[in-house]
Amino acid sequence: MTQWEKLRQLPAVYRQQLHELYDRDALPMDVRHYLSAWIEKQEWQRAARDHDLAMVLFQVLLENLDIQHSRFVQEESFLLQHNIRRYKQNFQRYLDDPCGLASTILWFLEKEKEILQSADLAEQVEAAPQSSYWHILDKTHPVAHNDTSMQKHIQFVPTQVYLLELIDLLVKKELVEWQRRQQKACIGAPDNVCLDHLEKWFTCMAVCLFQVREFLSKLDELVGKVSYDNDPIKAQKPALQRRADTLLKDLLKSSFVVETQPSMPQGKGSLVLRTNVQFSVKTRSVYRRFNVLGTKSKALNMAESQSGGMVADFRHLVSDHVFRNSLNLISLSVTEELHVINFDTVFDLKGLSVELQASSLPVVIISNSSQQQSAWASVLWFNMLSLDTKDVKFFANCPAATWPQFGEVLSWQFLSATKRGLNDDQLEMIALRLFGKQRDYDNCKVAWSKFSKENSPDTFWVWFDGILVMVKTYLEQLWRDGLIMGFVSKGKEKSLLKKKQRGTFLLRFSESVIGGITFSWVEYDMIGEPSIKTVQPFTKVDLNQIPFHEIIRNFQILESDNIPENPLLYLYPNTPKDEAFGKYYSDKTDNSPYIKYIKTKLMFVSKE
């Protein structure tokens, strides 16, 4: 059975995770479904590093899509014909980056395996109470001819060890992994942080332990009625009771978590709060089926949860003035000071009372919106590197990030903002900017100071975030459709364009102007020597006036004694300009017979 077939047979909650996974344009579910057997047989991990193999697989993928298209033509499946044709066109963007396609497919396959593993573990936990619950064996020994009474022995086959292993698995592995995924998701990673499966597992274990407590209570009644010398129940029951209570309390304490981290409605992301501005945060117990009495300020209840779990949704909290600790031995900026918000409640059920506490991830509290960008840099750095979610002194001795870690986080910023991350070529340009030319960047490290302090105020993060904001605000669709090369050095730009036909151009981000984008094109002189031309970068001032695709469409060069012309003919590598950008053009004509105005057009003109 293929991996895809196994996924389709999972319970509804896991199929929903599968739908959420494929709610992206990178790999359509239709393609995954119809080519499932072929996809799972290929060596995508090797192809992600081997350009030649990746190109072969890319071509075979397109051929398979053609075969599927022909099949749907024969079956007269009009909609599927249309979809397959569109998917094939979208995959063309990987023509120059087949390794990127291999990496993408590999990522989806790995995420599928995680869903399968979660389902397998849930099945094991669910089966635990039946397969390895406390078994009671009543053994009645035959009465010897000289015996005057029967001796009844109750032998326990305890499964405390097994329960302890399962609880350790939930608390020390599954919950810890969820918390790490939540950390990464807070800074843009496409990780699944749904708590439904954890809730199911915790509930199953807690129900099992409550049943153990009830059983031990029944034993008390039994001992009160029938007992004898050296009764093992009397000797063992107190220790069993303590052990069961300890396991249950530890489980319940671990089940209380912050489901949605603190965030402001108008903030850049979670974990950055501003004094005297409302923020929201949601706590949740991943053990359900009972009422939990909270503090006077908030009670965990089912009414605020779409899934029926126990949640407390704080929607109108405000951070008041922050008093800085004058005892700090080192000087930290406001945006490097971390604060943890604690939530306390009390659990009461069937004579068991447990105090629960959940803590938020460290937040940065600012007093002015101008600190937002720097605060988000701190949030990124902490959650990229720290596994200790209560380490509020993290920036007192801040570690460096390896390039693989750092590059992945940068890609997440684009992925979360625009649904399209950075490919290997774009990341290589950024690495070149940070480290200079290196044979291999994997062993390079980025210091916190280089990321957010060096060359202040125009730090690396200010430059990168300026580009991200510009793309999100003005260029999202162009970026998502793969029309913007973006992160490319001037040297790489020249080597790419000088081999192309006249008028071939590419779009790249400015390395010197914060939040700037420009285009460069190739021209040839009388003897056939290429020269690369570049215009002054466009910023939000320009893009507020004219959409960038209209700038490209109508841009002109004025040369003495020559008719103005648009030098931009082919988007790299060889797509005609109007074919690449035509769908964005907005020619709106006024057919009113009463008003006839001379049409005007805003456009950028450069003098040669």
The pLDDT value recorded for residue 320 is 63
Whether residue 39 is predicted with pLDDT greater than 60 in this model: the reply is yes
pLDDT of residue 561: 67
Q: What is the CATH number of domain 3-125?
A: 1.10.532.10
Does the pLDDT value for residue 568 go beyond 60?
Answer: yes
Residue ranges per structural domain of the chain? 3-125, 194-322+331-367, 395-475, 483-607
Residue 596 pLDDT > 50: yes
- What are residue 314's DSSP bridge partners? 281
pLDDT at residue 508 in the model:
95
Q: Assign 89 a pLDDT band (cuts: 50, 70, 90).
A: confident
Burial of residue 574 (number of CB atoms within 10 Å: 0-12, 13-18, 19+): exposed
**Given the DSSP bridges, would you call strands 504-509 and 570-571 parallel, antiparallel or unpaired?**
parallel
Q: Looking at residue 139, what is its pLDDT?
A: 45
| Closest among 270, 252, 260, 283 to 167, alpha carbons compared | 252
Count Cβ atoms within 10 A of the Cβ of residue 229 and give its class: 0-12 exposed, 13-18 middle, 19 or more buried: exposed
> Is the Cβ–Cβ distance between 358 and 343 less than 8 Å?
yes
Which pairs count as long-range contacts for 10-13, CB under 8 Å and 24+ apart, including other chains?
A: 10/115, 10/116, 10/119, 11/119, 13/196, 13/197, 13/200
Which strands sit side by side in the sheet containing 570-571, from one edge to the other?
A: 530-534, 517-524, 504-509, 570-571, 575-576
Highest mean pLDDT among 115-119, 464-468, 527-531 belongs to 464-468
Using 50, 70 and 90 to split pLDDT, how confident is the model at 329?
very low
pLDDT at 18: 87
Q: Is the pLDDT confidence value at 334 over 80?
A: yes
Ranking 310-319, 418-427, 493-502 by mean pLDDT, the lowest is: 310-319
- Region of poorest pLDDT, from 140-149, 337-346, 472-481: 140-149
Asked whether 470 and 543 are in contact (CB, 8 A), the reply is: yes
State the average pLDDT over residues 7-32: 85
Secondary structure (H, E, C), 304-319: CCCCCCEEEEEEEEEC
**Residue type at 371 in one-letter notation:** Q
**Backbone φ, ψ for residue 447 (5° rounding):** -85, 155
Place of tokens 């990168």: 464
CA angle 65, 68, 69 (to 5 degrees): 85
Q: Are 339 and 361 in contact (CB under 8 A)?
A: no
Give the CA angle between residues 456, 459, 462 to the nearest 5°.
Answer: 120
Q: Over 90: is that where the pLDDT of 477 sits?
A: yes
Residue 105's pLDDT band (cuts 50, 70, 90) = very high
- State both tokens at 601: 């057009």
Q: Which CATH number does the domain 395-475 belong to among 1.10.238.10, 3.40.50.2000, 2.60.120.620, 3.40.50.300?
A: 1.10.238.10
**Cα–Cα dist 216/242, whole Å:** 11
- Residue range 194-322+331-367, CATH number: 2.60.40.630
Evaluate whether 251 touches 222 at the Cβ level (below 8 Å): no
For residues 301-319, average pLDDT: 66
Top mean pLDDT of 18-22, 274-278, 387-391, 594-598 is at 387-391
pLDDT of residue 148 exceeding 80? no
Are the C-beta atoms of residues 135 and 157 closer than 8 Å to each other? yes
Rounded mean pLDDT of the chain?
A: 82
Beta bridge pairs of residue 347: 354
For residues 520 and 506, the answer to whether their CB atoms sit within 8 Å is: yes
What residues pair up with 282 in beta bridges, in sequence order?
A: 260, 313
Angle between helices 160-168 and 98-131 (to 10 degrees): 150
Among residues 113, 250, 122, 254, which one has the least CA distance to residue 176? 254
What count of residues does the chain have? 608
- Whether the pLDDT of residue 464 is over 90: the answer is yes
- The band of 608, judged by pLDDT with boundaries at 50, 70 and 90, is low
pLDDT at 147 > cutoff 80: no
CB 372 within 8 A of CB 268: yes
What is the band of 116 on the pLDDT scale with cuts at 50, 70, 90? confident
Most confident region among 25-29, 64-68, 515-519, 582-586 by mean pLDDT? 515-519
The crossing angle, in degrees rounded to 10, of helices 403-418 and 372-385 is: 130
Confidence of residue 1 (pLDDT cuts 50, 70, 90): confident
pLDDT confidence bin for 593, thresholds 50/70/90: very low
In CATH terms, the superfamily for domain 483-607 is SH2 domain (3.30.505.10)
Q: 240-297, pLDDT tens digit by residue?
A: 888 888 888 999 999 999 998 988 877 677 899 888 887 888 888 876 543 433 343 5
* Backbone torsions φ then ψ of 311, nearest 5 degrees: -130, 160
Lowest average pLDDT, out of 54-68, 295-309, 387-401, goes to: 295-309
Question: CA-CA distance, 404 to 47, in Å (whole number)?
Answer: 19
Lowest-pLDDT range, 180-184, 228-232, 265-269, 592-596?
A: 592-596
